[in-house]
Amino acid sequence: MKEFIVLKRNLKNDFSNLKKIRIALLGDTATQLLTQALRATGFDAGYDLIIWEADFNQIQRQVFDPGAELYTFNPEIVLLFQSTHKLLQKYNKLPPEQYSSLATKEIALIENIHATLVSRLQAKVIYYNYPEINDAVFGNYANKMASSFLFQLRKLNYELMEFASQQSDFYLCEVSSLQNELGKSNLFHTSVYINTEMVLSINALPKVAANTIDLINALQGKFKKCVILDLDNTTWGGIIGDDGMENIQIGSLGIGKAFSEFQYWIRKLKNRGIIVAVCSKNTESIAKEPFEKHPDMVLRLDDIAVFVANWENKADNIRQIKDILNIGYDAMVFLDDSAFERNIVRENIPEITVPELPEDPADYLEYLYGLNLFETASHSKEDEERTKLYQIAAQRTQMQQKFTNEDEFLQGLDMVSMIEPFNKFNTPRVAQLSQRSNQFNLRTVRYTEEEIRKIASSEDYFTFSFTLADKFGDHGMICAIILKKEEDGVFIDTWFMSCRVLKRGMERFVLNAIADEMKAQGFHYLKGQYIPTPKNELVKDHYLHLGFKEKNNHWTLDLNNYQTEKTFISANK
């Protein structure tokens, strides 16, 4: 990671072609250098962060005054940085009988700040949690005293997590974990604090900024979806082809422990919804053997969505994995102990993330924890089922290879789709797809759960969600449409679809469904728009293919002359 001195040279670069994001930073201590670090780190991530910084210690005035500059600035993201030092000062000034109520009072204030912000702004709120200060007034006994500062501080951090878990637009950024990682003497510099009111040391600024940008990336729909594993000396110790299954290192003894713990970590990622793939230079049957038979293996074949073991070039193999999974390279992480393989992959596929895994397997996990690769801004039940879905996709790809006639193949899939308006059951998934869908997304307008709820209940919109199931399994909800009423027709504000169901005729089925419904409601046209992004070229000619006519950067379909499109999907309303 760049040091602050190097990082801030970015500030002189040309930001003009980068994506602009308006950010308000409100702090109770001096935040000028944090602002610089954020903007400079943003540059490396491809953002032109327009940061408006509130005057020192003006959080409450800015938030509670409807006429404040904060609201004129109208940020998309509000960063709230309240320091442990200021919290301690507050605590110090309380009458002793009120010590025990510090956390309760603070969380009430923070909830109030959040509620006020989201009522006046369409913004997401990021709150920095509190690194610990142990004032040592009670020593270890502080843990037994609700009135101790340490007790109140930890309670507040916990209450913040409880609150964040209930709110869709409130996120926490970890400063507390960062202090654990760096040590307090590195996060906090006493003389700098005394002289400048800055609570973050200069060395810590790039780390805090990077952590913030990780969150912003996730909010922008940029995050990792897949981890690709090498096997020998990455997933287990030793070389399976040479050493044989009984001699690989895994389990509770010696260096085997490092690999077992690594596998547990990978399995937790898989359970969270990260797709796990294997890419190994091995004979497939030998590479699979430990997954099937080794008693100490944590990962099993069930955990692996795509398993590629052969003697081909790894870059080519990763291309194949990408084709099966249908996700971008920038959503993939490749873990391999061999510097040679890492370099081949990096050179051929620059977008993929290839961590420089340490020499000693004992260091793998700590190193990977520090990279924070798997940030996310949402989570749903479906995430946990993802591996199964991709395993089914891989089977389907194999079946497709058997059919030469596309129609025959599609017919044989027995596809059924359920069409529903947005409701309280599908809203979280709609919002999540809205955040993460990049490729099949015509306008790439991102909506939060809250916004989806508002749209669903508005008279001005029609909403449709589509599921898809076939004889291999259920994809769940894979497409959403938001139509906005115009005078005689409707505008397709949103059309996004999961890439899992490409080439199934789903888009024709969706068009039939919305065209029929809108015609029945007495509308005369559908109007669509394609807004290009670096990711959505796939749907550049989407409306052209569906028979829309182009005019002034918009595509129109005349509903009076509309012919139903041929599909192999039946509706289950």
Partner 1 sequence: MDRNEIFKHVNEVFIDVLDDGNIVLSEETTANDVDDWDSLNHIQLVVAIEKLFKIRFSSKEIQSWKNVGEMISCIQGKAA
Residues in touch with partner 1 (CB under 8 A): 4-5, 8-9, 12, 32-33, 189-192, 194-196, 198, 201-203
Q: How many CA atoms lie within 13 A of 297 on its CB side?
A: 21
Is the Cβ of residue 124 or residue 189 nearer to partner 1 in the bound state?
189
Q: What is the DSSP string of 71-92?
A: HHH--SEEEEE--HHHHHHHHH
In the complex with partner 1, the residue whose CB is nearer, 184 or 566, is 184
* Cβ at position 542, least distance to partner 1 in Å: 47
Please state, in angstroms and rounded to a whole number, the distance separating the CA atoms of residues 145 and 151: 7
Nearer Cβ to partner 1 (203/343): 203
Residue 32 or residue 271: which is nearer to partner 1 going by CB? 32
Q: Whose Cβ is closer to partner 1: residue 31's or residue 498's? A: 31
Amino acid at 513: A
Tokens of 399: 């079946």
d(CA 58, CA 73): 15
- State which residue, 31 or 249, has the beta carbon closest to partner 1: 31
Are 427 and 453 in contact by the 8 Å Cβ rule? The answer is yes
d(CA 478, CA 436): 12
The distance of closest approach from Cβ of residue 83 to partner 1 in the complex, given in angstroms and rounded to an integer, is 17
Closest separation between CB of residue 37 and partner 1, Å?
11
Q: Which of 343, 337, 279 is nearest to 305 (CA)?
A: 279
| Whether the Cβ atoms of residue 128 and residue 134 lie closer than 8 Å to each other | no
Provide the token pair at 543: 């409306």
Please state, as a whole number, how many other Cβ atoms lie within 10 Å of the Cβ of residue 356.
9
DSSP assignment of 381-431: HHHHTHHHHHHHHHHHHHHHHH-S-HHHHHHHT-EEE-EE---TTTHHHHH
Residue with Cβ nearer partner 1 (3 or 312): 3
CB of 193: closest distance to partner 1 in angstroms? 9
- Calculated CA dihedral for residues 428, 432, 434, 440, nearest 10 degrees: -130
Three-class SS state of 67: coil
User: CA-to-CA distance for 501 and 504, rounded, in angstroms?
Assistant: 6
For partner 1, the closer of residues 195 and 252 by Cβ is: 195
Q: How far is the CB of 182 from partner 1 (least distance, A)?
A: 15
**Rg of the chain over all Cα atoms, to the nearest angstrom:** 26
Shortest distance, position 38 Cβ to partner 1, whole Å: 15
Q: For partner 1, give the closer residue by CB, 8 or 225.
A: 8
CB of 202 to partner 1, least distance (A): 5
Determine the residue type at 395.
Q
Work out how close the CB of 52 gets to partner 1 at its nearest, in angstroms, rounded to a whole number.
18
Q: Which is nearer to partner 1, 4 or 130 (CB)?
A: 4
DSSP string, 295-326: TT-S--GGG-SEEEEESS-HHHHHHHHHHHHT
Query: Minimum CB separation from partner 1 for residue 194, in Å?
Result: 4
Spatial contact of 88 and 102, defined as CB atoms under 8 Å apart: no
317, 277 Cβ separation under 8 angstroms = no
As measured in angstroms, the least distance from the Cβ of 367 to partner 1 is 24
Q: How buried is 50 (Cβ within 10 angstroms: 0-12 exposed, 13-18 middle, 19+ buried)?
A: middle
Q: Which residues contact 256 (CB under 8 A, 6 or more apart)?
A: 236, 237, 249, 250, 296
Name the minimum Å distance from CB 208 to partner 1.
16
CB 78, min distance to partner 1, A: 23
| Closest to partner 1 by CB, 196 or 423 | 196
d(C-alpha 483, C-alpha 546), whole Å: 17
Burial class (CB in 10 A: 0-12, 13-18, 19+), 270: buried
Instruction: Give the length of the chain.
Output: 573
Nearest distance from C-beta of residue 222 to partner 1, angstroms: 30
Which residue in this structure is represented by tokens 């790039």? 206
**CB nearer to partner 1: pick between 191 and 252:** 191
Considering the complex, state which of residue 206 and residue 476 has its C-beta at the smaller distance from partner 1: 206
